[in-house]
Structures are given as C-alpha cells and as structure tokens.
Structure 1
Amino acid sequence: MGSIMGKAMDENLKKNQEFMLKVNQLTLERQIQMQNQMRERQMAMMVARSRDMFQWFGAFCGTYAFVAIAANLKGKNKAIMGPLLPLTFILGYQYDLAYGSKMDRMRKEADRVLDTESSLLDMPHGLPTFADIENGRQKAKDASITGKGHDIFL
C-alpha cells in the first residue's frame, strides 16, 4: 500500500513540477514582452525628442543664417558668417538622427560590437553575485542602523 501512495505522490510531484515550469516559462515570456514594449516606447520617445530637437535647432540655424547673410550683404561684420559651417554639420547630424538612417547604422554597429568585440561590454569585477548583493544590502542596513544612533547625539 505504501508503494501505491508513493507512486501517487511521485506523480503529483511530477505534475506540480511541470505546472511550475509552465508558469515560470509564461512569466518569463511576459517579462520579456513587457521589457521589449518598454524599450520600444523609450526608443520612440528618443526618436520624437530627436525630431523635436532638429526642428528647434533648424529654426535657430535658419534664423542665424538669415541674420548672418543680411549682415554680410550690408558689409558689416563678415566674421558673423564663421559659425554657419559648424552649425550646418550639427544640423545635418540632427537631421540624420531624426529622419535619416542613423538609427539603422547605429543598430548595425551595435550588432557588430556584440558579435566581434563583446569583451568591451564586460562589467568591472564581472556580474554581481547573490553574495555581493547580499553583502551590500547588509552593509546598507548596518549603516542605516548605526547612522540613526549617531543622529540622536548631534
């Protein structure tokens, strides 16, 4: 009779383990999906910010160019034309970032770095371990306890 109970318990344990595996897999898939959606939203905000920055900087450059050309035509200060060259490069960079293919080129370069230069991405002292995190948590807890005691005497 004990072997029948043992077999039933083993089957229940196995079913429970399979169920927990499926639950963990579903949870992980949801976390991956959530993180990806958050990443996409952050990237969309970055693109929108770049486009807004391009519009503002374009308006500034256009205004400056108009004033500089007008001053140059009147024969006043010709040095006012000097900043137009670097400003056009910055404006071109902003346009490429906001509307051009810069994001694709950056993504390809990031893929290349991941594939061929992954050692550049290593964390100093490697990935934190559970023991490292626990030691840091304990130190912070100890510091907060001893810090409170000192505040009384100040």
Structure 2
Amino acid sequence: MGQTISSGTIDGQRASELRMLNDDFIEAEIVLKNLQLAQERAVKLVEQQERFSWEFLGIGTVAVILVAAGAISKRKDFAVPIAPLVMGLGYRYDCAFGTNHEVVRDQAESMLKRNDSRLQLVGGPITLRDVDAYRERHFQ
C-alpha cells in the first residue's frame, strides 16, 4: 500500500517536471521564431533599400532622357511620364526608408484585434482532431 502512494507522488513529480521542461522548450521555440522573423524582416528592409538605389538611378536616367528628347524635339508631352515615375519612386522611398512599415503593422494589428472576417481560414480553423485525422490518412 505504501508503494502505490509513493509511486503516485513520484509520477506526479515527474509529470510536473516534464511539463516544466516542455514549457521551457516551447518558450525557447517561440523566442527562436520571433528572432527568425525579425532577421527576415531586417533582410527584407535592407534589400528594399538596396533596390531603391538602383530604381532611383534608373528612373533618374529615364527622366533625363525624356527631358532631353523633349528639348530636342520641342515637344512638351515627353515630360508627362515623369510625374508617375516620380510618384512611384516616392512610394518606394517610403517603403525602404520611411514609416510605411509602421503604418502597415498598425493597420494589421487593428485588423487582428477586430477579428476581421477576411482573416478566417476557408473551412474554419485547423483543430487537433483535423491534424490527427490527416496523420492517420497519410502516414499510417
């Protein structure tokens, strides 16, 4: 009789230790995933900044050519495409160096808080039962 009581206590202690280990592991995974997402975002921002410099050179070259062609041919309509090019370049500058990422993040957070219906998965959220059924169908 004493063995069942003491082994039950040991099993409870082991279960709580395993639960704590599992919680620590999950927290470490969350930290790792957050770090990975931050690194990916940093790389994306640096790529946008690098791409912007090339876009600036390209659009600047096109604008100079259009102005020169307009001056040579005495036609002012060559300058018309410059306005959308400059506007597009301004948007790309805001994406690469400005506060566009903050606006996007804030709007995404507010959409998540409102629980917008556009965020719902087709067929509803995935449950553990769905995962188990999928595993049973495909892996056994």
- TM superposition score normalised by structure 1: 0.80
* Equivalent residue, structure 1, for 2:110: 112
Partner of 1:85 in structure 2? 83
Equivalent residue in structure 1 for 2:64, among 63, 66, 81 = 66
| Contact 1:71-1:78 at 8 Å conserved across structures | no
Q: Distance in 2 between matches of 1:127 and 1:43?
A: 27
Residues 73-99 of structure 1: CA distance to partner in whole angstroms, max 9, x if unpaired? 223554332211111111001000000
> Once the two structures are superposed, what CA deviation does each residue of 1:3-58 show, in whole Å capped at 9, x if it has no partner?
x2122111101110110111111111011011101101110121012112211111
The verdict on how the C-alpha distance between 1:13 and 1:133 changes in structure 2, with shifts beyond 3 A counting, is: closer
For 2:137 and 2:18, how far apart are their aligned partners in 1? 34
Q: Does 1:31 align with 2:32?
A: no
Task: Specify the SS of the correspondent of 1:128.
Answer: coil
8 Å CA contact 1:53–1:94 kept in 2: the answer is no
Is 1:57 the counterpart of 2:55? The answer is: yes
Distance in 2, Cα, partners of 1:96 & 1:82? 23
Q: Which moved more, 1:54-63 or 1:79-88?
A: 79-88
Q: Distance in 2 between matches of 1:114 and 1:30?
A: 25
**Count of paired positions:** 140
Change (3 A) 1:5 1:117: closer
Unaligned runs of 5+ residues in structure 1 are 143-154
In structure 2, what is the Cα distance between the partners aligned to 1:74 and 1:126? 63
Aligned partner of residue 111 in structure 2, secondary structure: helix
- TM-score w.r.t. the length of structure 2 is 0.88
Q: Rg larger in 1 or in 2?
A: 1
After TM superposition, the structure 1 stretch with the greater mean CA deviation from structure 2, 90-99 or 48-57, is 48-57
Give the SS at the match of 1:74: helix
Q: Structure 1 residues 24 and 134 mapped into 2: Cα distance closer, same or farther (>3 Å)?
A: closer
Which residue of the other structure, out of 98, 101, 112, is the alignment partner of 1:100?
98
- Which deviates more, 124-133 or 38-47? 124-133
Q: Which residue identity is paired with 1:114? A: L
Distance (whole Å) between structure 2 residues aligned to residue 35 and residue 140 of structure 1: 28
RMSD across aligned positions (CA)? 2.1
Task: Assess, with a 3 A threshold, how the Cα gap between structure 1 residues 92 and 122 changes in structure 2: closer, same or farther.
Answer: same
**What residue identity is the alignment partner of 1:50?**
Q
